[in-house]
Amino acid sequence: MVNDLMTNSIFEQLKNKWLGIIDKKQLKDRKALFQTSSGLDIAPFYLPKNQESATYEQSLNVPGQFPYTRGVQPTMYRGRFWTMRQYAGFGNAAQSNQRYQKLIQGGGTGLSVAFDLPTQMGIDSDNKRALGEVGKTGVAIDSLKDMETLFNGIDLATVSTSMTINSTAAIVLAMYLAVAQKQGADLAKIKGTIQNDLLKEYVARGTYIYPVTASMRLITDIFSFCKETTPLFNTISISGYHIREAGSTAVQEVAFTLANALAYVQAAIDAGLAVDSFAPRLSFFFNAHNNLFEEAAKFRAARRLWATLMKERFNASDRSCQMRFHTQTAGCTLTAKQPDNNIVRVAYQALSAVLGGTQSLHTNSRDEALALPTEKSVNIALRTQQILAEETGVADTIDPLAGSYFVEDLTNKIEEQALAYIEKIDGLGGAVKAIEQGFMQNEIQNAAYTYQKAIESKDQIIVGVNAYETEEPLPSDLLKIDKELETKQIKELTQLKNKRDNDGVTKHLDTIRETAKTTNNLMPPILKAVKAYATLGEISDVLRDVFGEYRE
C-alpha cells in the first residue's frame, strides 16, 4: 500500500527548499495564526514526516477491517448510499405524519423523529408546565393514540426510524413497538434507533428527569429487553452532536462522546450482559461542523479510537468494535442573517460527513435559525444529499481523503488529544464522576467562550454576521405553529382519558411502580401500560415518585 514514504532527510531537504523560497520572495501570511476551528495548528503544507510504513499501513488498513479508520463496511458507498434520514416533527401527530409521507415520497430512505419539549421531559400536554410548548420544537406525543397517528400509513416493518428521545426513551420505544405490533410487524425484524443517551443530557442539553443512577438503570433495561425482543434495533445513539452544539471543540466532541460510551458499556457489563451481546447495536451521533478537513478527519479518528478502546479494554469482537454513526449538520452554525448562506454551509458540512464515512445523514434547512423548517426548505436539504450522492462522485471510491498528508495528520492529532482527555476522565473516576464534578461542562464552556471571542474579534469570520454584512428582510414564508394546536391536543387527550379503561391503567401504573423498586426490567410493564393507553406523563410521574428528580 504505502511503500514509498519519504525519509526524514528528504523531508528536511524539501522543507528547507520551501523556506528558501519564502525568504526569497518575502511571502507574508494573510493572518498571524492558522488553526482549525477547534484550535489545531495548521502547517503551511504537509509531508509524510516520521511516518513509518508499517505503522502507517496498520492504522489505515483497508475498509471493513479493524481498526476501521477507512470505514466499517468493506464496500461503503459503492455498495449503497448512506441513509438519508431527515429529522422532522412539529405540531401534532397528524401534521408530522404528513411531513413524513412527503419525505418518503421525495426519496428519503429513513425517518428521524423530533419530539416537543414536554414529551422529552415526561410531561403531558395538559400539564401546566407544558403551556406554550406543545408541538413547538417537535411533535407532541402523549399516548399510544398519538403514536398510531404519527405512523399511520407508514409500514414500520420496512422503514428505519430514528427517535431523538432520552429521558422518556423507554416509554416512547414501547409506544413504537406497540404500533409495530398492531401493524403486524415482526419485532425481531424492525430496524431503527432510539437515542437513549442520558449522560450527554447532564453535560450539554438538559432534558433529564431522574438522577444519574436511575437513568443508567433505564438505559441498561432497554439494552437487555431489545437484545431479546428487537435484536436489529439500535438501543442507543451515543451523541456527540449536542456536545458540539453546546460549544465543544471537535476533539472534545470525540473524547466526551467516547467516554460516555465507555460508561454505558461498563454499566451493561455490570448489569450482567456480555459485551458482544449488546455492543454491535451501539450507534453514535455526531455533528458535522464547518471546518471541512477537520470534520472528515474527526470521523476517521473517532472510528479508529473506538475500535482500539473496545478491543483493549473489553476484548470485544471485531463487530463490537465497529463504530456506526449518524451525522447531522451543525445547527449552531446556521445564521438568522442571510439565511440562504446556510444552504452552502449545510452542503459542505454534509460533504465532510460523507468524506468521513457516515452511515446516515440529516441535512439542516436554511431557515432553522428562525423557525421550524418549511416544506420547501426541507426539500432543498434533502436534495443537497441527493446531489452529493448522485452528481459529485464523492461516493464512488472509499475513504477518498486517505493518504492526504494533511488529513492523516489531523486524524492522528484528534485521536491523540481525544485519548488524552479520556485518560484524564478515567483519572477522575470515569464519565459519571467527571460529569458530577462538572469537568466536561467546564471544558465545553471554556471552548464556547474562546470560539465566541474569536468571532467578536473577527479572528473567526462568519459570512453575513461579522463580515460581508448586508441588510436583508426575513423570509416571508416561515413556518408557524397554529395557536389552536395546543387546545386541540389537550382536548383529544382529555377524550382519551375519559374513554379508556382507567382501572386497568391504574393497575399497570402500580406494576411499573413496584417493578421500579426492584432490579427487574421495566420495559415489559411499560409496554403493557402504553398498550392500555397510559400516558407518557403518567408513566413518567410514577418513575419520578420512585427515583426522584435530578438537580444540578
C-alpha cell at 275: 459485551
CA 165 to chain centre: 11
Say if residues 40 and 294 touch (Cβ distance below 8 Å).
yes
Q: Please give the C-alpha separations between residue 226 and each of 135, 156, 235, 301, 400, in angstroms, as whole numbers.
A: 29, 16, 7, 29, 36
0.95 surpassed by pTM = no
Eight-class DSSP state of 201: I
- What pLDDT digit, counting tens, does each position of 390-427 carry? 999 999 999 999 989 999 999 999 999 999 999 999 99
Residues 6+ apart with CB under 8 A from 179: 144, 147, 148, 151, 156
Distance CA 330, CA 240 (A): 11
- Domains in the chain, start-ordered, CATH in brackets? 8-53 (no CATH), 61-456 (3.20.20.240)
* End-to-end Cα distance, the chain: 52
Name the residue among 243, 245, 246, 267 with its Cα closest to residue 255: 243
Residues 6+ apart with CB under 8 A from 223: 235, 236, 268, 271, 273, 278, 281
> Is pLDDT at 46 greater than 80 in this prediction?
no
Q: What is the mean pLDDT of residues 332-353?
A: 97
Q: Which pLDDT belongs to residue 48?
A: 65
Distance CA 170, CA 384 (A): 34
The number of residues making up the chain comes to 552
> Is pLDDT at 53 greater than 50 in this prediction?
no
> Is pLDDT at 24 greater than 60 in this prediction?
no
Model confidence band, residue 533 (pLDDT cutoffs 50, 70, 90):
very high
- What pLDDT digit, counting tens, does each position of 63-95 carry? 999 999 999 999 999 999 999 987 777 889 999
Q: Please give the C-alpha separations between residue 52 and each of 44, 61, 399, 402, 404, in angstroms, as whole numbers.
A: 22, 14, 21, 16, 15
Q: What is the mean pLDDT of residues 272-283?
A: 93
Q: What is the mean pLDDT of residues 107-113?
A: 82
- What pLDDT digit, counting tens, does each position of 161-206 carry? 999 999 999 999 999 999 999 999 999 999 999 999 999 999 998 9
- Counting Cα atoms < 13 Å in the Cβ hemisphere of 435 gives 24
Distance CA 237, CA 245 (A): 16
